[in-house]
Chains A and B, each alone.
Chain A
Amino acid sequence: AQRVTQPEKLLSVFKGAPVELKCNYSYSGSPELFWYVQYSRQRLQLLLRHISRESIKGFTADLNKGETSFHLKKPFAQEEDSAMYYCALRRNNNNDMRFGAGTRLTVKP
């Protein structure tokens, strides 16, 4: 079975500092990895997915199959990045998605 681990429940950085939210997974096949974000009082929404290989709101994430990781990075954090972030995995032959426990990011002024 697949498993997603986000080791940090809380992460706090100052505005302008780099930020990295960690995500590790366990799955023997080829996974699809996603980052979802939930801003205060808003619904959970997709931030980015590894197959798109794009940068959204300055965030990037690279799938490292050797380390089974999909860490989310941003070089200069902004206060509006404060939110709950979830890493998620979908198996390549299935439709259901599993999520990590989430990391609450706080960007201080």
Chain B
Amino acid sequence: DVKVTQSSRYLVKRTGEKVFLECVQDMDHENMFWYRQDPGLGLRLIYFSYDVKMKEKGDIPEGYSVSREKKERFSLILESASTNQTSMYLCASSAQGQGRSPLHFGNGTRLTVT
């Protein structure tokens, strides 16, 4: 069974802080994703990565960056946190190729920026 683990369930940060959200998957998946989940807006794609050191912007990349130095780990970075980044952040992974799998999600990190 695929396991996607997000390092923190809850985080509280102050405006202007640099924030790191970490995600690890154990199924050797090529693709990894970061979404934010907000009521009434659903899941919106921030960034995704299809290989180590490769990344592509999603629909709302502003204010975020990502890092993928190893295949199993995908980090989301808020360079200077703002209150409008208070949200639930979901990490996901999937396999590529002919056997493209659906996305497998982590439990989420609820970030509050005060």
Chain A residues with CB under 8 A of B41: 101
**A43/B107 in contact, CB under 8 A:** yes
**A46/B102 in contact, CB under 8 A:** yes
User: Contacting A99 at CB < 8 Å: which of B42, B107, B108?
Assistant: B42
B4 nearest CB neighbor, chain A only = A43
Chain A residues with CB under 8 A of B64: none
Chain A residues with CB under 8 A of B11: none
Q: Which one of B19-27, B43-51, B77-85 is at the interface?
A: B43-51
Q: How far is the CA of A37 from the CA of B43 in the complex (A)?
A: 12
B90 nearest CB neighbor, chain A only = A44
User: Contacting B42 at CB < 8 Å: which of A34, A43, A46, A86?
Assistant: A86
- The minimal Cβ–Cβ distance linking A50 to chain B, given in whole angstroms, is 11
**B35/A49 in contact, CB under 8 A:** no
- The answer to whether A40 has its CB under 8 Å from any CB of chain B is no
User: Contacting A49 at CB < 8 Å: which of B42, B102, B107?
Assistant: B102
- Count of A-B contacts with CB under 8 A? 50
- The answer to whether A98 has its CB under 8 Å from any CB of chain B is yes
**A95/B35 in contact, CB under 8 A:** no
**B106/A43 in contact, CB under 8 A:** yes
**B42/A100 in contact, CB under 8 A:** yes
**B102/A101 in contact, CB under 8 A:** no
Chain B residues with CB under 8 A of A96: 31, 33, 45, 48, 56, 58
| Binary CB contact string for chain B from 95 to 106 against chain A (1 if under 8 A, 0 otherwise) | 010001011111
**A102/B108 in contact, CB under 8 A:** no
Chain A residues with CB under 8 A of B103: 36, 46, 88, 97
Q: Which residues of A contact B (CB under 8 A)?
A: 6, 9, 34, 36, 43-46, 49, 86, 88, 90, 95-102
Q: Which residues of B contact A (CB under 8 A)?
A: 30-31, 33, 35, 40-45, 48, 50, 56, 58-59, 90, 94, 96, 100, 102-108
Given A46-B102, A95-B100, 13 extra CB contacts under 8 A: A9-B40, A34-B102, A43-B105, A43-B107, A45-B105, A46-B104, A88-B43, A96-B45, A96-B56, A97-B94, A97-B103, A99-B43, A101-B42
